[in-house]
Amino acid sequence: MGRRRRRVLQARRLLARAPGRIREGARRIHGPNPAADEPREGFLRQRPLATADRRPPGSHVHFDGDLSGRRHLRHPQTQPKAGPDPDGIPGRSRGQPLPVAPGARALERVNAPRPARQALGTENRPMNAASTVCFLALCAAAVAQDQVLFNGTDLTGWDGAPGWWRVEDGALTSESTVEKPCKQCNYLIWKGGQPADFELSADFKLSADANSGIQIRSESRPNWDTCGYQADMTGDGKLVGFVYHHKRGLIAGRGEKVTIAPDGTKEVQKLGDPEKLLESFKKGDWNTYRIVCRGPEIALYVNGTLMCQFADRDAKTAASSGIVALQMHPGPPMKVQFRNLVLKELEPMRESKR
């Protein structure tokens, strides 16, 4: 058995005996407590360690060197019998004492009184630096949680044109009709900030003639208008998975990997077949957009399928942060709905220097 495996098993046995040591310490300080010693239903019954008041005078405990989990109690008046030991350790007869496991020494330190622990050097020992780093990393991970942008009941945290946005069936909803046509774009703007590097997921549902989008890294304009990057979408699916910009038009199509160089040069590479990718989209049903913005790069996923990638490295046109908003587009009667909007901020991208 390897040394590491042996140490793991020893540590497990020590942890399993911890409840017994705690009860034993309580007995020494406060006296016996019969009610506390009764095994309770549903709890694992732990056998406390053998102590001087539980052993015959002169007896002593050998910790198991064979990692079997058993302790061997030897009475001074009991003569060991000859023959092979049932533990199966080669070359050792039944009467020979078992070697003391390293865990026994650690247990002696734990059970030692305070002055003895100070002498052993185990009192007030500073925390290991690696343990401190791991602890702080866990705390940071616990603090960094996903941010829910929509509470599912009202427009709290959002700002939109009066009379155009409401909550219907747990979804942010905007609808135009023949009697109430939409004559110009208006947006429902999230008031929670202007994220830079993030991952945004949102469920969306569109009527057949609907045209809408999710604004990212955009700027706010008067009368609930915006300008900037948009994860485009239409009810027929034609513009699903496209990156649109108000000033620059469609800048990345479904199935494309587009890079805008620092000098403004545009490079287009094929990422996949647009029609094949569109099969992931469900017309007239709920779909999920996942938008990943990190550094100069933007990636669009629909129902888990990568639709397009876009990298804007031109400092004159690129935006590194901005508002999040939902679009209501002018045109024929349409209905757009959004729900389950969740934002997770990401660590900034560190690009290698060339």
Q: Is residue 140 left, alpha or beta, with left meaning phi > 0 and alpha meaning psi from -120 to 50?
A: alpha
pLDDT in tens, 198-208: 999 999 999 99
Q: Indicate whether 251 pLDDT > 90.
A: yes
Residues in the chain: 354
Strand partners, 326: 188, 214
In 3D, which of 195, 187, 194 has the Cα closest to residue 338?
187
Q: At 143, is the pLDDT very low, low, confident or very high (cuts 50, 70, 90)?
A: very low
Residues 6+ apart with CB under 8 A from 288: 201, 202, 203, 204, 302, 303, 304, 340
pLDDT in tens, 294-351: 999 999 999 999 999 999 999 999 999 999 999 999 999 999 999 999 999 999 877 6
pLDDT in tens, 38-85: 544 444 444 444 444 445 555 444 444 444 444 444 444 444 444 444
Q: Indicate whether 141 pLDDT > 60.
A: no
User: What pLDDT is stored for residue 318 in this prediction?
Assistant: 95
Rounded distance between C-alpha atoms, residue 88 and residue 70, angstroms: 13
Q: Helix, strand, or coil here: 142?
A: helix
In 3D, which of 77, 29, 18, 25 has the Cα closest to residue 51?
25
User: What mean pLDDT do residues 165-181 have?
Assistant: 97
Query: Which domains can be identified in the chain, with CATH numbers?
Result: 3-125 (no CATH), 149-345 (2.60.120.560)
**Percent of the chain surpassing pLDDT 90:** 57
- 152: tokens are 């599912």
Average pLDDT over the chain reads: 78
User: What pLDDT is stored for residue 5 in this prediction?
Assistant: 76
User: What pLDDT is stored for residue 6 in this prediction?
Assistant: 75
